[in-house]
């Protein structure tokens, strides 16, 4: 059948039938500069199975890709690995059109789908349950693995042991619109950058649970020839690289790097930021300045992902920290970047509350404050010397902390 969008074979009897969102730039507050994909997969055995669906508005593209393989009415089983609406938004239309004999989700997925769409007739599969897709000489089995709170309560993986093929929903994904379906067809630096941004903005709060999941996968010793997430490219030979990155990120392994996030009203806090940055570097750290007037919070989160220090500068505006600084700190707090060394600085005109507010915000994120400084109006020589000292204090505190950590074997 000729259709404007075609399915892409990604395994034995497995096709990618998702959609490419070239135009999205704001994914619930996360700036996605390179668009995204909503990956859905069609398995053709004795039964035909659809794994996940696409965001509302992309149903025509998905159905066209399915139709390039089979009539959508041949789909017998629909699986929802994750109920967030970028993967479930078209499920009501899918179920209406396909009328599958079974619609499966995790127990918490059934509840989440019901809360979003009313009763769709979803049936719960538990951790370890299996479903036979084909029997006989060419068996094909689906095994369900609950991955609660990674990153939603309902999340689960679906695994095909006969092909060592894992559908990993959001895990190991990235927001990257591309016609390439496999990671090995894309530049490594691009994969590293977008995978880190995705982890920082979606998965960073769940590090301890991801550690447990990785330990469980290690214990199960699952062969993984193909890992197919719900966003971005599918992993084959390059999977060990992203798996290693997930081990590093989820264990909160930090580098000798400092991020200086700041905004300014009349360039005083800007000057302080630049001097703090110089002395952090003098103290042996890699340094990234993030002027919040032009840096998106999701890029800030990405820079903070492996940074051992976060130094925040804010002028005081009407007794408050500057709005862009408040927004950045609120966003970061939700992502739980614990265990960093912190510092604060800023210029003020009357009462100067911002630095104290920044200190409180950093402390509330579990950061150890290495120092702070503030100045009335325009920084003079003493203030710039204090900024220089602040950078050295933060660098020294971080170097000391990293030196005390056990080194990888």
Least distance (Å) between residue 152 CB and ligand FEO: 6
Comparing CB distances to ligand FEO, the nearer of 108 and 275 is: 108
- Closest chain position to ligand FEO (CB): 84
84 belongs to the binding site for ligand FEO (CB under 6 A): yes
What angle is formed at CA 289 by the lines to CA 398 and CA 258, rounded to 5 degrees? 10
Asked whether the beta carbons of 296 and 328 are under 8 A apart, the reply is: no
Comparing CB distances to ligand FEO, the nearer of 84 and 359 is: 84
Q: Among the candidate windows 80-88, 158-166, 185-193, 216-224, which touches ligand FEO by CB under 6 A?
A: 80-88
154 belongs to the binding site for ligand FEO (CB under 6 A): no
Other C-beta atoms closer than 10 Å to the C-beta of 73 total: 11
Comparing CB distances to ligand FEO, the nearer of 175 and 181 is: 175
65, 82, 374, 401: which one binds ligand FEO (CB under 6 A): 82
125-157 in b/e form (b: 16+ CB < 10 A) is beeeeebebbeeeeebbbbbbbbbebbbebbbb
Phi, psi dihedrals of residue 237, rounded to the nearest 5°: -65, -25
Query: How far is 349 from 134, CA to CA, in rounded Å?
Result: 73
86, 194, 263, 270: which one binds ligand FEO (CB under 6 A): 86
21 belongs to the binding site for ligand FEO (CB under 6 A): no
Closest CA to 44 of 87, 77, 80: 77
Phi, psi dihedrals of residue 187, rounded to the nearest 5°: -65, 140
170, 194, 270, 303: which one binds ligand FEO (CB under 6 A): 170
Least distance (Å) between residue 171 CB and ligand FEO: 10
CA distances from 45 to 9, 15, 129, 134 (A): 14, 12, 19, 5
**Residues carrying an active site annotation:** 28, 82, 84, 86, 151, 170, 198, 231
Number of amino acids touching ligand FEO (CB under 6 A): 9
Least distance (Å) between residue 129 CB and ligand FEO: 22
CA distances from 370 to 105, 321, 355 (A): 47, 20, 13
Q: Give the interface with ligand FEO as residue ranges (CB under 6 A).
A: 82, 84, 86-87, 151-152, 170, 230-231
């Amino acid at each position: 059948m000729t259709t404007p969008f075609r399915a892409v074979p990604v395994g034995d009897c497995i096709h990618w039938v998702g959609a490419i969102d070239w135009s999205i730039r704001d994914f619930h507050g996360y700036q996605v500069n390179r668009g995204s994909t909503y990956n859905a997969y069609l398995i053709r055995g004795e039964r035909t199975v659809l794994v996940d669906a696409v965001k509302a508005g992309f149903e025509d593209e998905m159905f066209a890709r399915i139709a390039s393989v089979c009539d959508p009415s041949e789909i017998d089983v629909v699986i929802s690995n994750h109920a967030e609406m970028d993967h479930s938004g078209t499920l009501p239309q899918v179920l209406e059109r396909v009328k599958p004999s079974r619609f499966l989700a995790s127990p918490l997925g059934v509840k989440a789908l019901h809360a979003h769409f009313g009763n769709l007739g979803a049936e719960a599969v538990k951790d370890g349950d299996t479903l036979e897709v084909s029997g006989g000489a060419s068996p094909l089995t689906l095994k369900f693995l609950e991955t609660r709170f990674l990153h939603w309560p309902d999340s689960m993986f679906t695994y095909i042991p006969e092909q060592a093929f894992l559908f990993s929903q959001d895990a190991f994904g990235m927001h990257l619109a591309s016609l390439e379906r496999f990671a090995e067809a894309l530049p490594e630096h691009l994969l590293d950058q977008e995978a880190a941004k995705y982890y920082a903005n979606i998965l960073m709060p769940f590090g301890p649970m991801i550690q447990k999941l990785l330990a469980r996968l290690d214990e199960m010793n699952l062969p993984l020839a193909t890992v197919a997430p719900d966003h971005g490219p599918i992993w084959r030979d390059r999977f060990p690289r992203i798996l290693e990155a997930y081990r590093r990120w989820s264990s909160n392994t930090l580098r000798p790097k400092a991020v200086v996030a700041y905004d300014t009203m009349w360039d005083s806090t800007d000057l302080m930021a630049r001097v703090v940055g110089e002395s952090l570097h003098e103290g042996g750290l890699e340094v990234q300045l993030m002027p919040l007037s032009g840096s998106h919070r999701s890029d800030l989160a990405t820079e903070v992902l492996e940074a051992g220090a976060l130094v925040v500068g804010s002028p005081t505006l009407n007794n408050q920290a500057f709005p862009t600084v408040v927004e950045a700190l609120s966003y970061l707090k939700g992502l739980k970047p614990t265990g960093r060394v912190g510092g604060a600085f800023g210029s003020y005109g009357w009462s100067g509350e911002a630095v104290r507010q920044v200190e409180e915000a950093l402390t509330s994120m579990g950061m150890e404050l290495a120092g702070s400084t503030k100045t009335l109006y325009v920084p003079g020589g003493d203030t710039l010397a204090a900024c220089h000292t602040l950078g050295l204090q933060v660098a020294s505190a971080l170097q000391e902390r990293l030196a005390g950590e056990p080194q990888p074997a």
